[in-house]
Structures are given as structure tokens and as C-alpha cells.
Structure 1
Amino acid sequence: MRGTEQPAQETMRTPLSTYRLQLHAGFTFSQAIATAEYLCDLGISHVYSSPYLQAGSGSTHGYDVVDHHRVNAELGGVEGHEAFSRKLGELGLGQVLDIVPNHMSVDRTNRMWWDVLENGPSSRFATFFDIDWNSAEEKLRDKVLMPVLGDQYGRVLERREIHIDRDGVQFRVRYGEQEFPVAPRSLYGLLARAAELAPSDTLNFLAVSFARLPAPDSTDRSVQLARHRDKQVLLGLLQRLCREEEAICRSIDEALAELNGNIDALDEILNAQNFRLAYWRTSDQELGYRRFFDVNSLIGLRMEREYVFEETHELILYWLDKGVLDGVRIDHPDGLRDPKQYLERLRSSSPHAWIVVEKILEPGEWLRQDWPVQGTSGYDFMNLCNGLLVAPDGLRRIDAIYRDFTNEHESYADVMFEKKSKIAQETLASDVNRLANIFVAICENNRDSRDYTRAQIRRAIRNVAACFDIYRTYVVWTPDRQEIAEEDREHIGKAIEEAKRRKPDIDAGLFDFMSDILTLKVTGKLEGEFVARFQQFTSPIMAKGVEDTAFYTFNRLTSLNEVGGDPGLDGNSVEQFHAYNAHMQATFPTTMLTLSTHDTKRADDVRARIAVLAEMPGRWAAKVKRWSRVNAKYRTGAYPDPNTEYFLYQTLIGAWPIAEDRLKQYMQKAMREAKRITSWLANNQAYEDALNRFIEQILSDAAFVAEVESFVQRIRRDGCVNSLAQTLLKCTSPGVPDLYQGAELWDYSLVDPDNRRPVDYDLRRNMLAELRGFSREDAARFALAHFEQGYPKLWVILQALQLRYERPASFDQSATYEPLLPAGSKADHVIAYVRSGDVITVVARFPHRLDNNWSGTVLPLPPGKWTDRMTGRVHAGGAQIRISTLLDDFPVALLVRDSEATDGRDARKTPGRDLAA
């Protein structure tokens, strides 16, 4: 294993590039090992793996961790991980791991969670999880609500679907395939009855002893440990008794049969548990623990507690210390109570690690510079590129086309507010209730606010949260630490004023009082608790209301509907792009840059193709109206509605060719996420059936299919030029480029699980070998001659990543970034810049309008001899050069000054990568 006996500072290194691998039972460490040499030859410096600590059985993503001390057995366990790490080390490849500090799975195999369900607040692990043991609902005091039942509790019980059984001396409540531990004190009645049936004084003594265990409401550590010790002793004695006297086992089973046959007795023992089984729909209103968004099976961790951090990060920190890992990507830091504190602990524990955070930044928002990280996971860069490739005037025309076709006239801001409000009122209502309980207590202690009702407070909380235009603020109040940045005050003030405007019927004084608490003008223990929890609440409101709802309902140009994006904006200018890159070089020069991830709504190539529609709004309008007219015969009544139909046509264009089953599955997910006519919780079967029939029939209509193919063929190459442009920008802008698995060729995947389909690495390996067998000039010609297969994209990636190896100083923290400004009538179609004086990137945008006619547009080429790494062509600098000269032979240009010699690159790490000039 690479670096296992060397100190971290000698082995850790900042990635030059990363490649994301999604590990699961169908793609284990063994398969990952088989890809390693290919990734090395491609120019990747670090493999970036999805989470691989022990997850729940059958996990397809790894974010449902159940044990932080083990490697996932389904991926190959410790041996598989060691072999994987050893292979990477042999090739000189580093390793970055995605880690999950915010939550764990409530799977049966999570021993800490099982202990909490068994022992309630007295569990040794009760303080690890974010559970409200002091619920305002008496029935839930000191209990965990488990919303797992398919019907009302009483009905399920009447149907005998819940019972208690045992495995040795481990007693469990069973419901279908789910099981839960029986509280030790509640065993008294069962064991006492078994003692009568036996009869057995010893068993009766044990029954009484279980009843005398301390009540499960003590959080005193010494009581918790003593209770656990006594429980284990009693279980050991019971096990011994059962082993020595077979009749005891029979009497216990007989008592169990009696219990399961008596609904009242079964109900009584179920009510004595530390959890409450409930109908699954109750979770929206009454759930007593913080979740990951609205996923009941993922419970929040109290990561702000140092012992929780140490317990859950021991193995990760060991790998970082020994050089097995060079860095980590932090999943969902906004879910943490105090992200900055967490990151400071992590940085203190691993000073040299490359750390990036999955922080979703909204347009105009920057990553906090006092966070001790290298940057984000790249959504901000991705959205910058999305907007950069969209023609603003065309997008404004498309806006009118969309509204005319769908009769949808709400602004994006209104759609966003509406969807966030609905999520707060329904899906995340239990979180609102918890916040309201805290705020009510605050008001009770303040004479000027004590008359606000709980209903008013809930409404105010929902509306202020829905008015935030960012995921969250980072205000901190504890007795020994108070922090609030000016930008936090601005965002809070803006949200409060917007809430007042939208809800004038709510007393403005209530909003003002909430503002005073959120901005630390009014402080105290309860106030600090409200601030912390409110900030944890606004990010899931944004994620569920916007990412998973509004992005499927506001559909004027779906390429802009991406995580961290604002589909209401009219694109980004070249000046904005240069300003962003200059800022990143000055602040986070080794941030991650990405175009596709496991969470993106559409792959980069889908978005790149859809973006072309903004260059041809008139033709798009004509097509969408014609298709709707000719396909009207396939509708069932009002279904599909115009907004769905408009969304469907964009999907067809972006992902074409697409199989019927794949399209149906995607559209079902998309429309359920939209929550307009159908949803995950309330399926509208008539609507979904009508949509499926519509898809079947339009894809069986040869004339319609021919029109779609003809239209896509007209814009296919322009979409690919967009793709090559954003790919090269990603590989040469300030930061570390990341490739999502398989995206080195044209990739027309849609949202997960579509984007997690198996990747054909044999194909990619063979294509890469072909390209490496040519000179640059011949490789460029070959790639263009085989455009449809994806060779041009693979070539761009190969050349750009190789250059990063050869000239790391041109892209590192000390590098420079300088825009190159073109001149001429087509100047707005050019994006060009210089890195560290010796690498120039030149790409085109709006290729459909350009139609390869540059009209004499020129670019100032600095002095020197410049070789284009894409074509091998040499250009003399020191004068203006025509853009047509740079881009006629290949759609993008990557110019390198003077020599192509490597800068001391370790050839062992990059076997055979150097290509002929």
C-alpha cells in the first residue's frame, strides 16, 4: 500500500486531476483495480472514490454508512481495499475519498443505532445522534419515532403483522423484514410468565433483575455504563440458564406465543419500548430526529461533539496519516451544526490533506475564506460554464416561447418560493415543529413576544426559510464563541424583508424578533440553539424545494436547471467567467472543477447540446409547436400537460438517442420530483400511465422520430463543440479538474440512476491506445474523422491532463491567470486566457450562430513560439492571430510556449504518455 509507513507530509500531494469512481457490489475494488492503468495512461493523478466505509446491505452509493471502523465488505473488505491501494501506489496514482460526516444509516447493522433503540436516552451512543428526547408530544418523550408501518399502528397490530421473537437471548420486535431490539426492562413480564410455566425461581430472579435496571432516561455517563454492564451480565446469565436447562427455552417460547397471540399484551410491551412504531406518513409532522433532507433512514450525527468526530473519523485519519489517502471530499457540510468547527478539527488532525467540500454556492456567493479547505467539489464552476454557453438574447426569446407554450407565467423566484414553502409545510414539517418549540420557549421568556402563537411562529419560520437565496448562513453562538459575518447579516436581512413582503398578514414584529435572534442581537442558550438549528434547516429546504422540485417545474431551458444554478438568470458573460477564475486563483487555486457528478440532473454533454437551443429560438419554437400539434392524437385527455410535454421534448433532444424504457424511467422520476400532478408519496397512476402511453406512441411514430433525429443531427456537432469548450476550460482553469466515470467520451446520461450505468472501460482503453499511436497532427485528424464515437473529447482530455503533468507550475497555487481579449465582430464568441505566461486556452462559444465564420476576428498572441497541443501546429507569437487560424483544424486550441519538454515529471508515474510532436 502506497506510503503506509511514511509520514503524511512526505506522501500527500495535491491532485493534478481526479477521476470519480462509483463503487458498489457490481463495481468493487477488483473492478476498480482493473481500471487503474487506463486512468494512469489517461493522465489522471488521483482516483476519487465514492464512500467505501461499511454501508447498509445492498447500498448502491455508500452514503448510508453503518460502521466507520470497517471497509465495506460488499466492495471487497479490507483485503480488497489494500489491493486497490497497493495497485494505485504501484502506478503512482493518489487517492481521494468521499466521506460522510453528517449522517448514518438506521440500518439494523448499525450497532450504535441498535443500542439507542434498545436503551433510549441511557444508550452509550444516545448523544451521538441528533435526537429530540424532550418532545413537546408527551407520547414521544424519551422515545424515537420509527415511521415504518404501511398503515395505522392499530390496524397493523390487528392484522398480526407485528410480533416479538428471539434469537438465543436476543429478543426482537419484527415487522415484515424489519426488526428492532426489545428494551431490557420490558422483558420482565415475558420472563416472569416463562418462569411460571417452567417453573423456575432462577428465571423469576432474572425477570425481576431486568425490571430493576435503571430507567432508560438517565444521560449520566456513569449510570449509562453501569446499566450496560448489568444488562450484559443478566443476558449472560439468561443465556447460561437456557443452555443448561432446555425446559427454560421451551417455557420462554411458550410465553412468547401467548404474548404474540394477545393483542393487548403485545401493545403493552410495544408501548414500553424506547421507540414508537408508527405509520410512515407521520414522519413529516412528528419525526424526532434530524434526517438527511427528508430521508427517514439517514439520521443526523452530532458531529460538533469532539468524541463523535474522533469515533467516526479514526480510520479515515489513519489512512490520511499513513498516506493511503491524499485527500477527502466532505459530503453535505451544510448539514453540520458548525461546519467551520468541523473543518478546523479535520485540518488540525490532518494538516497536509487536500480537503474539498460539497458546498453548493448560489450565483454571486463565494466560499468562506476562513474555512481551512482547498475549495468546493465544483458545482460553482459547472454552473458558470452552463451560463457561459447560453446566448442571453436567445434565452430571453425562449422565455417567451416557454410561457406561451405552457401558459406558465410565474417568475423563477416565485416558483422557488412556492416550492420551498410547500416542502417546509409538508415534507419537512417535523423540522419546523422542532424549531417552533424552541422559538415558543424563547418568546415565553420575553414579554414583548410572548403572545405570538405557535401557529404564527411556524408560518414565520417556514416563510423566512423559503426566502433565503442561499443554502445557509454560518452564524455561531455559544457561551464562549460568537461569530457572524457581514454577508450573513445581509442574507438574513434580505430574507426577512422578502418574507415581510410576501406575507404582510404575519406581524412584522415577529419577523423582526426572529431577525434579532438570527443576527445575535438577542442571545442566550435557547437563542443559540434556534440559530444553529435554523441554519441546518435552510439547506434541506433549498435542496428539496429547488433541486428536487423547482428544477423539474421551471423548464424554459433545462440545461440551466443544475445543482447550485439559477435557471432564472439569462446566462453568464465572458467577463464574469474571467472574474470568477481570477478570484479562484487568488483564493482557492486548487479547488475541484467539475462538469458532471453522481448528483447532476443531466450529464455535461446533455446540457451542452440543449444550450444550443438558445442560439436558434425561432427554429426551436417552430419545432416544439409542430411536435405538440402532430402528437396531440397520442394524448389521453389533458395528459401529458404542456409543461411536461415541453420538458419531454428537451429531454429527447439532449439525450438522443434514448431507449423507450430509459426515457420512461427518467420521466417518471422527473415528474414525481416536480410534485405537480404526481409525486413519490401520492402517485397519480392515470397521469403516469398516460405519459407512458404518450412516450410509447411518439417513439413508435416513424415520422416524428425522423424529425427528432433530423433536428438533433442539425445541432449535434454544435453541442459537441460546446462540450469540448467546457471540457478544456475545466482542465485549464484555476483548480483541479475532475472527471466523472465514463465522461471522457460523449455522455448523454440523465439523473441517477441513469448516470450510474456500467461504463465500458474496454472500449475506452482501446480508443485511448489508438489515439496514443498517432502523432498529434494525425490524432487530431483521426479524432475529427471519428467524431461521433467521442474521440475528440478523449483527445482533449488526454492532451490537457498530460500537460498538467508536464507543467504543474502553470496550474498550481503560484500560477497566474490573465484573460486574452479578442477583437473583431465575433469577439463575443471567443474565450481565451493565459496561465503563467506559457499556456494559452482558446475555445469558441455559440457555435451554431458562428457557423465557422470568424469574420476576421483576431487574438493577441504573446511573443514566442506556440505549439498547439491538439494539432501539433506551431504559431509565431508577438502579433495578432486570426481565430480561424487557431481553430480551423480542431474546435479548441491549447497552446504551449516554446519547449514541450517535461518539467522533471516522474516517468514511472506516466508510462508512455509522452506523444510525438
Structure 2
Amino acid sequence: MPPPSATYRLQLGPLMSFRDAAALADYLVELGVGALYVSPVLQAAPGSTHGYDVTDPTQPSEALGGEDGWRLLTARLGQRALGLVVDVVPNHMGVGDAPANPWWWDVLREGRGSEYAHFFDVDWDSGPLLLPVLADDGDGEAVALGDLRVEGDCLVYRDHRFPVAPGTGNSDPRRVHERQHYRLVSWRRGNRELNYRRFFDITDLAAVRVEDPVVFAATHATLLRWVEDGAVTGLRIDHPDGLADPGGYVRRLRSSAPDVWLVVEKILGVDEDLPASWPVDGTTGYDALREVCGLFVDCTGEESLTNLYVAECNDLDPRRLSWECRIMVASRVLRAEVRRIAALLPNLDRERTEEAVVAVLASFPVYRSYLPEGRGYFEEAVMTARQARPEFAVEIDAVADAALAVPDGELARRIQQTSGMVMAKGIEDTLLYRYPRLVALNEVGGDLLRFGVEVTEFHQRAAARAAGWPHTMTALSTHDTKRSEDVRARIAVLSELADEFSALVRRWSARCALPEPTLNLLGWQTLLGAWPIGIERLREYLLKAAREAKLGTSWTDRNADFEAAVANWPVEVHEDEDLLSEVAAFASRLQQPGWSNSLGQKLLQLAGPGVPDIYQGTELWDFSLVDPDNRRRVDFDERRRLLARIADGWLPPVDETGAAKLLVTTRVLRLRRNRPELFHGYRPLWAEGVAARHVVAFARGPAAELVAVATRLSVGLARSGGWRDTLLPLPWGSGRWVDVLSGRAVAPATPPLAELLVDYPVALLLREK
């Protein structure tokens, strides 16, 4: 089964059912994609907006259309020769609504005696299963338990229902509660005392022991049947780092589905590669995202933007800030996991061992070390922890020695499972909101210490991808990105206007500032990047950003006064007419170069090595922010209308409609689908002349007969006088070159860029024999 030529990601949920997705099949064919790629499709918790809280892996989601809707979708895609890539969630299940999950319900009812007790990662030796659902406003659990009541064979607390074990019921709710295999406790105890592993810090998601062959078979039987039937042609594996044995899991999955296209949601370090022993086609593309988007950041703006950040935010060193964020997550947010790890070393002082575990977990240079292959990363974490916390060196060494002595043992496994959670919560969900030097760089899989990507590095990594991982997924926007590709493209322009932006921020902040300096700097960049953005959307984003940063407020400890000030900031900006006028004027200056960056990013991703994914709606301009903002309804009628005009020969201008981006998208996707041989190999091309640094180009195909060309740093290009005498030598060969985007012939073997890019800031040249 060949990999898809390209995928199109849809977020299924209240705004997109199986039937709705089926209705888009014709549009996707016209656009040029090879496969529909969807968020989880299995039965999820009632009211789920995303599907990652699966409650029954044996059937398609009833909320999305059930079996009938699923069959309609797969039949329609099959008729249109479109593949179907499904998001798989092997690490956890939704347990927040206990009656909705029959396996979890049975575990609560029967305890350790349940046939599903071994399905979940529960520490049964620690006592009853703790369920952190009780409200606690300072009055304690005893008061909260006063709201318990018995209804039939259920214990009921507010809107939560729990089973009563056989033979334990009576009319006294507290007595009944004390006789169960579980205990209802305060939500505040969740981060400290839980005895089941969660998905990060989400207590409504309980970890599943998919490493057990019985559990694997039970949770994957339906998916594998769909693969065998040909309905599902690709699998995207969510959060493999949370699994006990990611390598073993993907090997078992590959043996069960040998021909399926298989990619994993693995966040790689900048210089990290997937383990060689994993039989997968690649990652979900955050590595490519960093490389492509980084090309459009001007490294000469680093000093000015760093100075602005230092002045406004009190000189916070990003290395130290990263360490502090991870320490905070390990010691507070994931304390229950730390305690479970420390308990595996009973001969050491418990308190000191926990501190040693915290230090090690916060010190990994990558998300996970994958012992024994990644022993070097593990040892680096130990060395870093000893340097940072020398007072716990003895305990750190003891933890390391015990883990490395048995790399496939429980201690090593739990450290590895938890290190990824610490990295994700500490970096993605905290640091990226605390270090707003240039938030175009603040993305999953990024490196805040690197200010952009030079052309040489881009070529080196693209060539390596073409040679080593030709079928990996590549992405620019996903459901997990902190902002859409077009927002990043526009914010990247600030690196070319760094001095001017710095002066404006200082002046604007003097008139209207958010109540915390890092949030303030983030707020101005967000306002410009998503301009024009309504008050409510901006308010909701800033409140989420403030809670994620965990400085003035947080999700668990809300500061009402601080949040009120944050919520009022968008109103104050809009009510200050002079200020708003200045913001609008500067945003308008970012618009054209931002569009140029967006088109360049899109072309390089779509024409480059790997299988490109298009996130829903991003074939036009999309100025979405982090979820749930990026799950808003997409206007597919408008996209159909514009695509029909392009099919009729219309060459749209680069303007507010975003049709130029749709042109680039459909032209490349159709070529990928119809002539896949053109997208093999990789050859860097280098411009010659005074403006050579402002272009990135490469050739593909066995005879280098396809060439992608993109403008970069267009503000600096205009300031320096444009392309002038800059040329792009094309690969030698017989035949004439034609720009696939504009249809215009390109006659010379070394065309001037001023002529080559006269229609659009990008070009896709095909040599016709």
C-alpha cells in the first residue's frame, strides 16, 4: 500500500460528523489530496469535542454518526479513490464519565478482581483507587462527601455516577463509599496522590497498559479490522512517548498491519532522529515545521528583539527558565507520578529520593530516551541533574544506577514515560507562554535558543529527510500548534522590523499594558499576527495563555483580579482610537510580507520531501490561534467557489481572499498525485547575485525536472533594492521550463529572479520534454 500523496486533516466533532466529512470527498479530490486524515473516530466521552477521550474502542463514535455514518464515509472515500488516515489513541481512555466507559465501570465495581483491572495502569498495592472529583473550596473532603447519595446500585456525587460493588449497598452513602474499591477525593489531591497513571495531568484520562498483548488486541481489534478491509489506509499514533514500550508497540502494530502507512506523533529534538528499530514511516511533521517556518525569520533581528525581551521581562535566561518550568511541572503538576517512581527505591529516604527523581525528570535533553538505544540521553540527564542539584547527587546516582541496571524494568520504564510528560507540560504548555522574544518560534518541536533557520541548514535537513524518511508526514499547522502557519508567517516579519516593533511596543505598553510583562509582549505579537481579531477571540486566547504560563494565574489557582485585567485589555485597546489606529497601520505593513512568507512556507512544505498534511481550512489564509480557536467551523463553500474559478483558469492576485494560497496548494497537490515520480530525491539550488540570500530553491525528481522557488525576508529584499541582477541557475537538461503556478514559460537556463517571480513570490517550475 503506497503512502498517500498528501493528507488533509479534519477535526471531527460537533461541527464535523462522518456524514459531513463524506460530503467533502469531491472537494478533496478536486483540491488534489490523496487521503483524508481525521481525528479519533472511536466512541468517546459524551460531549467530547476532540475524540481523544475514547471510552469504547470497539465501535465508531455514535456522536459522529455511528456505524451507518462510518460506512457512508468509507464508501464515499473508496469511490473517490481517497485513502483514510485515522488518529489512534493507544495510551489512555476517557474515564471522566464512568458509566460511558464499560471497562472502567467494571474496574470500579469489581476492583482488582475485574477482568479489566490489568487494562489500566493502576497501583493496586497502594489501596483503593483514588478518584479526584470532590469539590474543595477549603472546607475539606468531609464536607464535600456530604453531597453523596445512593441511587439504586450507584453512588452519586453531583453529576458523577459510580457503581456500588455487590453486597456493599445500604442507605448510608458514607458507609457505602467506605466499602468500595475506590475513594472519591478532592480534585486538589490529583497531582499529588493519584494511584493510576494519567495522560499528563488530566485525571479524566486513565493510562492503558497496551503493552499487554491482551489489552492490545482488545483496544485495536476494530481498527485492525478496518485496515484489513481496506477502509483505513493509514494510522497516526498519538503520544507514543506515554507507552511503556513504544518500540514494542509499533513493532506489534506493524506486524498486525504490515502494509499500512504508519506515522507517530513524536516530538523530536532538533538533532534527534527516530529510533532505528521502529518500523514506522516517520513522524507527524513537527521537525519539518520548525525548518520551513524558521527560514522566514531574519536572524539579524535577534539582538533587537532579545533586548526588548530583556528590558520588558527582566532578563530571564531561557535555559534557566526552561529548567524552572520543568522542575515546577515535575514537583507540582506530576507529583503523583514522581512518588510512584520513588516508591520503587524503598531502601532510600523517600523525600530525598523524590527530589532526585524530580531533578532527573527535569534534565532530559529530549522527550524520552528509549533505553537501551537512548542511553546517552539518559546519562546526559543524570549528569545535568547532578550539576543542578548536587545536594542530591547520591540519590540521583542511585536512581540512575537502578534504572540502567535493568533498562526494561519498571523503574526505567516509568522514568521514561514521565520524562516526556515533564517536557511537554514544562516546555509546550508553560515555557512557550513565558518566553515571548518572537513567538513565531514558540512552537511544538521548536528550539527557543535558535533564532530561525538558515538556508544551508534547511537544505541539509531536507536532503536527509528525502534520503532517510521519504514517507514521513510534514506539517505547518496541526490541531496542537500554538498558532496557525499564517499567524507565524506574519509574526516572523517582525524579525525584519525589530527596531521599529520594539519602539512601538514600548509606546503602546505605556498607554495600555497587560498586567504581566511576558503576557504583555505575547499579547502585542498575537494582536498583530492575528489582525484583525475580535475582542472575544483575543480575550479567550489571552486568558488561556495566562493560565498556561502559570505566573499571574493558572488553571488550578485562578486569580480573579488578574484575569479581569487580562479580559479587559482587548477592550481597552479597541477603545483607545489613537492606539488602535497605530496598531492597524503597523499591522497593514506586515500584511504583504506576511502573505509572501505564507506562500513560501506552503510551497516548500508541499513540494519538499515527505507526505505533506494540510490542516483544515489552511488552503486559504487562516489566522487561528491555539485550540479551541483552531477548531472553528471552516467555510468550505467559499473554498469550493474559489477552487472552481482556479480550475477555470483564473490566476488570483495575492490579496485578502487567500486564493493565491489555494492556487499554490492545488497546483502542487495535483502534481504530487498525478506525477509522484517528480517528488523523489532532493537537490539544493543556489541563486547568484546581490539578493541571493532572499531566495530558497531546490530541485526534485530523478532528472531534477521540478524546481520550487520561494522568496524569503521580503522586507529586507525591498529595502535593498529588490532582485536586481540576481539569477537562479536551473538544472541542465533538454526541454523548456514552465511555471506550474502561472502557466508561464520560463525560457532561459539561468532566469533572472525579477522575471521568474513577477507573478507570485513563489514559483514551481516543471521541465517539459
**1:697 alignment counterpart:** 572
**1:870 alignment counterpart:** 741
**1:24 alignment counterpart:** 13
Superposition deviation, residue 422 in structure 1 = 0.5
Superposition deviation, residue 824 in structure 1 = 2.0
Over residues 297-327 of structure 1, what are the superposed CA-to-partner deviations in whole Å (9 max), with x where a residue is unaligned? 0000001001111111011001111100111
**2:159 alignment counterpart:** 177
Is the contact made by 1:834 and 1:841 (CA closer than 8 Å) also made in structure 2?
A: yes
Quick one: distance in 2 between partners of 1:807 and 1:34? 26
Is the contact made by 1:164 and 1:174 (CA closer than 8 Å) also made in structure 2?
A: yes
**1:161 alignment counterpart:** 147
AA of the residue aligned to 1:26: L
Superposition deviation, residue 575 in structure 1 = 1.1
2:456 corresponds to 1:575: yes
1:471 to 367, 370, 394: 367
| Equivalent residues in 2 for 1:365-764, closer than 5 Å | 365-407=272-314, 409-440=315-346, 444=347, 452-475=348-371, 484-485=372-373, 488-506=374-392, 508-518=393-403, 520=404, 522-523=405-406, 528-631=409-512, 640-764=515-639
2:724 corresponds to 1:859: no
Superposition deviation, residue 694 in structure 1 = 2.4
Superposition deviation, residue 109 in structure 1 = 1.2
Q: How many residues align?
A: 758
**2:203 alignment counterpart:** 296
Superposition deviation, residue 746 in structure 1 = 0.4
Q: Give the SS at the match of 1:146.
A: strand
**1:263 alignment counterpart:** none
Q: Which moved more, 1:46-55 or 1:818-827?
A: 818-827
Is the contact made by 2:441 and 2:451 (CA closer than 8 Å) also made in structure 1?
A: no
**1:832 alignment counterpart:** 697
**1:479 alignment counterpart:** none
| Equivalent residues in 2 for 1:758-777, closer than 5 Å | 758-774=633-649
Is the contact made by 2:148 and 2:174 (CA closer than 8 Å) also made in structure 1?
A: no
Is the contact made by 1:396 and 1:570 (CA closer than 8 Å) also made in structure 2?
A: no
**1:253 alignment counterpart:** none
Q: Give the SS at the match of 1:842.
A: strand
**1:914 alignment counterpart:** none
Is the contact made by 2:304 and 2:502 (CA closer than 8 Å) also made in structure 1?
A: no
1:81 to 58, 70, 78: 70
Over residues 433-486 of structure 1, what are the superposed CA-to-partner deviations in whole Å (9 max), with x where a residue is unaligned? 00000023xxx3xxxxxxx411111111101111112110111xxxxxxxx12x
AA of the residue aligned to 1:676: L
Quick one: distance in 2 between partners of 1:616 and 1:316? 50
Quick one: distance in 2 between partners of 1:630 and 1:298? 44
Quick one: distance in 2 between partners of 1:396 and 1:464? 33
Q: Give the SS at the match of 1:598.
A: coil
Q: Which moved more, 1:466-475 or 1:491-500?
A: 491-500
Stretches of structure 1 lacking an aligned partner (at least 5 in a row): 1-11, 136-140, 191-255, 260-265, 445-451, 476-483, 900-917
**2:755 alignment counterpart:** 885
Is the contact made by 2:705 and 2:731 (CA closer than 8 Å) also made in structure 1?
A: no
**2:686 alignment counterpart:** 821
Quick one: distance in 2 between partners of 1:689 and 1:511? 43
Quick one: distance in 2 between partners of 1:312 and 1:271? 32
2:678 corresponds to 1:810: yes
**2:122 alignment counterpart:** 131
Quick one: distance in 2 between partners of 1:126 and 1:363? 39
Quick one: distance in 2 between partners of 1:91 and 1:374? 24
2:133 corresponds to 1:148: yes
Over residues 715-766 of structure 1, what are the superposed CA-to-partner deviations in whole Å (9 max), with x where a residue is unaligned? 1110111111110111111111101111111000000010000011111110
AA of the residue aligned to 1:130: D
Quick one: distance in 2 between partners of 1:461 and 1:628? 42
| Equivalent residues in 2 for 1:233-252, closer than 5 Å | none
TM-score normalised according to structure 1 size: 0.81
Quick one: distance in 2 between partners of 1:573 and 1:43? 31
Q: Give the SS at the match of 1:74.
A: coil
| Paired-residue identity, % | 43
Over residues 106-145 of structure 1, what are the superposed CA-to-partner deviations in whole Å (9 max), with x where a residue is unaligned? 132110000000011110000000000112xxxxx1x110
Q: Which moved more, 1:537-546 or 1:700-709?
A: 700-709
Is the contact made by 1:783 and 1:795 (CA closer than 8 Å) also made in structure 2?
A: no
| Equivalent residues in 2 for 1:180-195, closer than 5 Å | 180-187=162-169, 190=170
2:38 corresponds to 1:49: yes
Quick one: distance in 1 between partners of 2:705 and 2:675? 9
**1:237 alignment counterpart:** none
**2:80 alignment counterpart:** 91
2:269 corresponds to 1:269: no
Quick one: distance in 2 between partners of 1:659 and 1:133? 50
Over residues 251-271 of structure 1, what are the superposed CA-to-partner deviations in whole Å (9 max), with x where a residue is unaligned? xxxxx3xx3xxxxxx323211
AA of the residue aligned to 2:360: V
Over residues 619-677 of structure 1, what are the superposed CA-to-partner deviations in whole Å (9 max), with x where a residue is unaligned? 1111111111233xxx6xxx512222111100000000000011111100010000001
Superposed CA RMSD? 1.4
Is the contact made by 2:238 and 2:264 (CA closer than 8 Å) also made in structure 1?
A: yes
Over residues 381-421 of structure 1, what are the superposed CA-to-partner deviations in whole Å (9 max), with x where a residue is unaligned? 111122221111212321111111222x1221111110110
Quick one: distance in 2 between partners of 1:429 and 1:37? 50
Quick one: distance in 2 between partners of 1:711 and 1:20? 33
Over residues 555-609 of structure 1, what are the superposed CA-to-partner deviations in whole Å (9 max), with x where a residue is unaligned? 1001111111112212211111111111111211011111001111000000000
TM-score normalised according to structure 2 size: 0.97
Superposition deviation, residue 532 in structure 1 = 0.5
Quick one: distance in 2 between partners of 1:584 and 1:694? 44
**1:102 alignment counterpart:** 91
AA of the residue aligned to 2:550: K
AA of the residue aligned to 1:496: V
AA of the residue aligned to 1:823: E
AA of the residue aligned to 1:162: L
AA of the residue aligned to 2:9: R
AA of the residue aligned to 2:441: L
Q: Give the SS at the match of 2:656.
A: helix
Quick one: distance in 1 between partners of 2:509 and 2:168? 64
Superposition deviation, residue 855 in structure 1 = 3.1
Stretches of structure 2 lacking an aligned partner (at least 5 in a row): none
Quick one: distance in 2 between partners of 1:510 and 1:179? 43
AA of the residue aligned to 1:268: R
AA of the residue aligned to 2:33: I
Quick one: distance in 2 between partners of 1:274 and 1:761? 50
